[in-house]
Chain A
Amino acid sequence: MRATNMKKAILKTRLLAPMVAVALLLTATAFAAAPGIKATSFALTAQAAYVSQPDGQMIYSWGYGCAQAPGASAFVPQTTTAPFCNTMQVPGPTLIVTEGVPVSVALTNNLPVGAGNTSILFPGFTVNATGGVQGLLTQEAAPNTTVTYTFTPTSPGTRAYYSGTQSDLQVEMGMYGAIIVLPKTIPTACTTGLAAANVTVEGNFGETDFRLAPAAYNSPKACYDREYLFQFSEIDPNIHTQALAQINAIAACKAASTPICPNLDVPTEPYHPAYFMINGRSMPDDMDPNYSPQYPHQPYNGNPHMHPGEQVLLRIIGQGRWQHPFHEHGNHVRILGRDGNLIQSATDANSLAGPLLFTTTTTPGLAMDGIFYWTGRGLNWDPYGHNPNSTDPVAKLSCIPDANGYNTGVAAQSQINYYEWCADHNKPVQVAPFGDVAGGGPVTLPDANILTNGAWYGGSPYLGPNATQRATGCSSDPYANPKTTCGGTGSTPPSGTIANPPGSEAGFAFMWHSHNEREITTNNIFPGGMMMMMLVDSREFQIDESN
């Protein structure tokens, strides 16, 4: 949804929801990964630019960017489509480095002269700085000069970096980013067993591996199958307006060769943020692709997808000045570590001791790594709507439990119900049969007329296009019974506003959002802000994180 065409369209709050859905339809399928630049030396610049908000505002901001465009091979994951690193972006470039390998970051201060010096802090590392001038917290780059920071990452994990100069203003203006340290050695457990099997299954369904590494830490408990990075921050637009006005005034003063020009003095209190962002974007913009050309200064998105059973690494950073309770619908998150420190049991280094949280509170400057998964275990009904009496072979797939109750055998690796929870296999949820899904279950669905369907509703209670189309009797499947073709929209009216199409995706959508609920607004408009939809997709749906 572009700023320009939305700007005047939102007359009433309640108009936005269908518009969001329309916007999603217009964009290509686009997911998230944790994209960044993998290197040992980085040439960054600090510059000003305007970032886009979904209410149509363009906010004057400062940020880090690439002094020169990195070579194509520096962008990871390597399968990323058309990545770029402009001279300013919010958040700054995600720097991807390896444990034990020295890193250098050269920062050139190309901010407007009135902004004064700038710098980068790398909390958690012992940093040497060369060049620049002495600042309070670190060496700083004066306008149009360069400072170089070098350090050796001593432990893996996700961390924040941000300005150490006049931080109350510069961080608010957008000067922050993420640094991901990959482990030096990968535990065997992360390249064998179920971890290896997931790569095989991805391949069987034509998917690519988008991980930066098979493990987050040097621990057999830190294996993962997918990963997403979420950086939380706020914008108080008044601060940005004042900063721009003062920068312009100082520039005009200097241009006129006035002997004494004012210094930048932007009040950062009282603080009234109106924009609440994840990865520099507010919902729904955060669900547009990574490196989408319409956000030249906000390249990173927040649009997680996963298959049942996949261990998903969440890299979560608080980059603003407020705390935000990030609520992950669907399951808990096991916190692996904070700021690159794995939290281990006092009696066994291979046992985790981090908490299980359904709300991962972000704290300014704090990064945490956690593992999430969704399997449907304990639902007490079969989310795939399997029906042993169907004529559709996909409805009659087997489910052979492993030691933990999941369908993970070699035979299952090419079935769409890989990792199904077998104890509920074939178990119905509804009293009456629902299309080609058997009855005999516990609940009765009401007349659909008393319900309002959401834009991300898959069209039925079931997971995946096969189950959804069988359930709703809308299928082009030759085995469907009854044999009705209703197009690709299942039971979900109206057909023009579907973000999770019954005919091709029909995932289970879960909202991931700030539970300080007023932060899921964009400058007083709901929905917006710190919110996204996470999709659990059956293996019928290819998850493509290449953009």
Chain B
Amino acid sequence: MFSGKSYHIWLPILLVCLATITAGAQSFRVQCPTTTITHPTAANLEPAYTGPTNFAPGPAGYLVPNPSSVNGAIKCQQISGGDGFATMGDGTQTYMFSFGPLSGLSDIANGLPGTQFPDKFNSVYNGTLLPGDPATTGLATFKFNGAVGLVPNLDCLAENAAAAAQTPPAALPCPNLPAGGLDGHVDPRPIMDIGVLNGNIPAPLMALDEDDEFFLTLTNVGQIMRPDLFEQHTVHFHGYPNASAFYDGVPDASVAINIGGSFTYYYLAPDAGTYFWHCHITPPEHLQMGMVGQIYVRPRQNRVPVGQSLLLALQQQQQDPRTKCDSSADILCSNPLPRVPNVLLGTRATTGNYAYNDGDGSTYYDVEYPLQIHGFDPNFHFVGMTFNPEGFTEMKDKYFLLNGRSYPDTVTEGPLQTMSADGAMHFSQPLPSTIKLKAGQKALLRISDLDVTEYQTLASLGIPMKVIALNARLLRDQAGNNLYYNTNSITLAGGESLDVILDSTGVPAGTYFLYTPNLDHLSNDAENFGGLMTEVRVTN
């Protein structure tokens, strides 16, 4: 239905490309250093956690780590800010303001986080990326996870090659140029080919480990369907403790990224938990229109060597002021040492992971599923595709989404694709929400809500929900007592998250449901069946 409009598209693309050129060659760029002050040795793995990082005063006046004691790694990701289309549960194509993947394309399409170690991120695509990729090339053959657009900086390579022999690396025309000239320089053409209309709902999934440094590059490719708008975009890391205003993504309090530019957000991963992210430009509009995503941070406890004491590992964390939780000195930490050590679950299991640094194994899970609740108001989205101002007061969601899909699409395997206005199919909704459990396994549900109009309830038919954390913080009192509770429903507002464990121990094999008892939310616009629902499948 939109293919006839494709001639409309190329003029804005051209304008964006021209803007890129006139604003300077570095308007689009990515950043993913292989070493930093915090991670002085290039490594593309998470080292085991055996104790806190040791620091000593360095020559430049700040503390530097002892390389052999370093924890965590460098992680990078690139996203586009722009627009796209998604397919609703009743088959309607809906226009979105949206983020899309510009790195980790294969992983995102496979429902995985797109966050990469530097070696994966700093890899160059061998061939020509096609509009709509990976959908155009096909999931089976498309395996690329590097940064879209990344190319060797040929100018720098030539200038350095022309410098006098024996010039020290720091004194070259392009100092400290990485091997192969991959300094973050990009070719804007593949960025536009891939980034235009590649919107995802939810936006690209991000996952970090505690102690990681995260370099997130937002590249604003413009909104091809709305050439009247000059929308900036930002990334707000919702719930990050002790955030800096500069990287908080609130345009009023910081900087917003114009069309044709890239900006790299930098954070040391915060304490473990289920966070989420979204654009903070005109939030009632950009969030409703789809600029919402998920990010979670995995605890140090996962990296404790198998068989070692979790309590001892948590005691190790108490040795570092940054990672400790001393309730007598800090009112905003939630994982003091457990009051009652757990003998049975007290060592690092051979499989599975933990949601938090609990020290007692009580947040163990076998499989994890990020689940983001959202809602779309089709009237607002329709107006949002036209050139008319939108009203906010009467906003009313009619599509109720789990990971960007309504039932029955929530249990469709693989990415959903949508024919967009450029005539290409795009992977618009990469994340299914089917919870798959083998009998006896535990599933961690990382549930967040970014609905902008009302509260949403999600209930479990059959398997109790054990709530272990609220708003990315373990439910534990200052004396070390776990305050987990069992329930069959949870209620969240937009801007909240919680962690739930579903335990299939003793549950007969079969299909169970997560659904909303807000019964009017079990609909896909005019269709009276669908909405906020998915399946929990327990197999033997």
Q: Could you list which residues of chain A lie within 8 angstroms of chain B, going by C-beta atoms? A: 12-13, 17, 221, 272-274, 311, 323-325, 327, 329-332, 334, 345-348, 351-353, 355-359, 361, 371-383, 386, 388-389, 401, 403-405, 423-429, 438, 440-444, 446-447, 449-458, 460-461, 500, 507-511, 513, 515-518, 520-521, 523-524, 526-527, 533, 536
Residues of A within 8 A of B321 (CB): 377, 401, 403-405, 423
Chain B 250-283 interface 0/1 with A at a Cβ cutoff of 8 Å (1 = within): 1111111110111110111010000000001011
Residues of A within 8 A of B27 (CB): 446-447, 450
Within 8 Å by CB of B471, from A221, A347, A355, A401, lies A355
A500 to B23, CA, bound (A): 28
A517 touches B255 (CB 8 A): no
A361 to B331, CA, bound (A): 20
Known: A329-B250, A517-B494, A518-B284. A356 touches B334 (CB 8 A): yes
Closest chain-B Cβ to A316's Cβ sits at a distance in Å of: 14
A432 to B333, CA, bound (A): 35
A447 to B21, CA, bound (A): 13
A356 touches B263 (CB 8 A): no
Residues of B within 8 A of A452 (CB): 232, 251, 255-258
Residues of B within 8 A of A357 (CB): 470-471, 473
B332 touches A348 (CB 8 A): no
B87 contacts the other chain (Cβ, under 8 Å)? no
B241 contacts the other chain (Cβ, under 8 Å)? yes
A443 touches B266 (CB 8 A): yes
A449 to B241, CA, bound (A): 30
A–B pairs, 6, beta carbons within 8 Å: A359-B493, A427-B37, A443-B266, A516-B454, A517-B283, A521-B284
B479 touches A444 (CB 8 A): no
Residues of B within 8 A of A274 (CB): 393
B471 touches A533 (CB 8 A): no
In the complex, residue of chain A having the shortest beta-carbon distance to the beta carbon of B64: A427
Chain B 113-145 interface 0/1 with A at a Cβ cutoff of 8 Å (1 = within): 000000000000000000000000000000000
Known: A380-B268, A438-B60, A517-B287. A446 touches B244 (CB 8 A): no
Residues of A within 8 A of B455 (CB): 323
B residues 232-247 near A (Cβ < 8 Å) are 232, 236, 238-239, 241-247
B250 touches A510 (CB 8 A): yes
B38 contacts the other chain (Cβ, under 8 Å)? yes
B248 touches A510 (CB 8 A): yes
B37 touches A404 (CB 8 A): no
B213 touches A380 (CB 8 A): yes
Query: Can you name 9 extra interface pairs (CB under 8 A) apart from A323-B493, A517-B494?
Result: A274-B393, A357-B473, A379-B267, A425-B61, A450-B261, A451-B256, A455-B252, A461-B244, A516-B453
Residues of A within 8 A of B284 (CB): 517-518, 520-521, 526
B10 contacts the other chain (Cβ, under 8 Å)? no
Within 8 Å by CB of A388, from B33, B61, B215, B247, lies B61
A447 touches B244 (CB 8 A): no
List the one stretch of B187-195, B322-330, B427-435, B528-536 in contact with chain A. B322-330
Closest chain-A Cβ to B456's Cβ sits at a distance in Å of: 11
Q: Could you list which residues of chain B lie within 8 angstroms of chain A, going by C-beta atoms? A: 23-24, 26-27, 29, 31, 33, 36-38, 55, 60-63, 184, 213, 215, 232, 236, 238-239, 241-248, 250-258, 260-264, 266-268, 270, 280, 282-285, 287-288, 321-322, 326-327, 329-334, 339, 389, 391-395, 451-455, 470-473, 475, 477-479, 481, 483, 493-496
A378 to B385, CA, bound (A): 41
In the complex, residue of chain B having the shortest beta-carbon distance to the beta carbon of A21: B252
Within 8 Å by CB of A404, from B232, B326, B334, lies B326
A377 to B330, CA, bound (A): 12
B241 touches A378 (CB 8 A): yes
Within 8 Å by CB of A379, from B55, B244, B395, lies B244
A508 touches B245 (CB 8 A): yes
B263 touches A450 (CB 8 A): yes
Residues of B within 8 A of A381 (CB): 266
B55 touches A442 (CB 8 A): no
A356 to B285, CA, bound (A): 29
A-B pairs, top 5 by smallest CB distance, nearest first, are: A515-B495, A450-B261, A405-B321, A325-B493, A509-B253
A272 to B391, CA, bound (A): 13
A386 to B452, CA, bound (A): 40
Residues of A within 8 A of B495 (CB): 325, 327, 358-359, 515-516
A463 to B72, CA, bound (A): 27
A378 to B215, CA, bound (A): 15
Residues of B within 8 A of A458 (CB): 245
B472 touches A440 (CB 8 A): no
In the complex, residue of chain A having the shortest beta-carbon distance to the beta carbon of B251: A454
A524 touches B63 (CB 8 A): no
A513 to B250, CA, bound (A): 12
| Of listed B61, B253, B494, residue having the most chain A CB within 10 A | B253
In the complex, residue of chain B having the shortest beta-carbon distance to the beta carbon of A343: B477
A405 touches B253 (CB 8 A): no
A380 to B74, CA, bound (A): 13
Closest chain-B Cβ to A497's Cβ sits at a distance in Å of: 11
In the complex, residue of chain B having the shortest beta-carbon distance to the beta carbon of A382: B62
Residues of A within 8 A of B285 (CB): 526
B23 touches A358 (CB 8 A): no
Known: A347-B481, A446-B263. A426 touches B60 (CB 8 A): yes
